[in-house]
Amino acid sequence: MNFDTAFDDLLGNEGGYVNNPADPGGETNWGITKKVAQENGYTGAMQDMNKQTAKAIYAKLYWLPQFDSLPYPLAFQIFDAAVNSGTATAVRWLQKAAGVTDDGNFGPQTLAAVQAMDPLKLIMFFNATRLDYYTGLTTWQTFGKGWTHRIAANLRKGAA
């Protein structure tokens, strides 16, 4: 299943417990913010959240069923962006890259447009849009280098 592979690959970008005061997401573990964890039923200390709990949250919130219809390298790009910036935002970037209306809903029109494109070109357009977005954020000075490394690593996965 693509999700299991994507989750394992994602852990290369999202690590364990972090509480960086400069991060608007606040306290995180396995890349899951405290707010998201609590909204999804987690009640313990963030430092204690296990990998299986994080995986269940990722499957529920960030892996769309449509991803199973896509080549894995492309599906992973969208999944990683959804985790980092929100699912609707990642879908909008995909829609811009595919040349369809960017409404944040991954419906049949988006799926058809995406499936009709060369996946490697789509990965390039998608990540260019993603980088453009990140460079406009006020937190770019603090987190930009890490985001750039993350996207570079994802591009390597996409080319493999």
Low-confidence winner among 21-25, 70-74, 123-127 (lowest mean pLDDT): 21-25
CB contact at 8 A, 124 and 156: no
CATH, residue 61: 1.20.141.10
- For residue 28, the surrounding DSSP H or E stretch is strand 28-29
| Residues 134-154 pLDDT 10s | 999 998 998 888 889 889 988
Number of independent structural domains in the chain: 1
| Residues 4-17 pLDDT 10s | 999 998 887 777 89
Range of the structural domain that residue 154 is part of: 2-159
pTM above 0.85, yes or no: yes
Cβ partners under 8 Å of residue 37, min gap 6: 29, 46, 49, 53, 57
Distance (Å, whole) CA 112 – CA 26: 37
| Residues 91-137 pLDDT 10s | 999 999 999 999 999 999 999 999 999 999 999 999 999 999 999 99
Structure tokens at 58: 């990722």
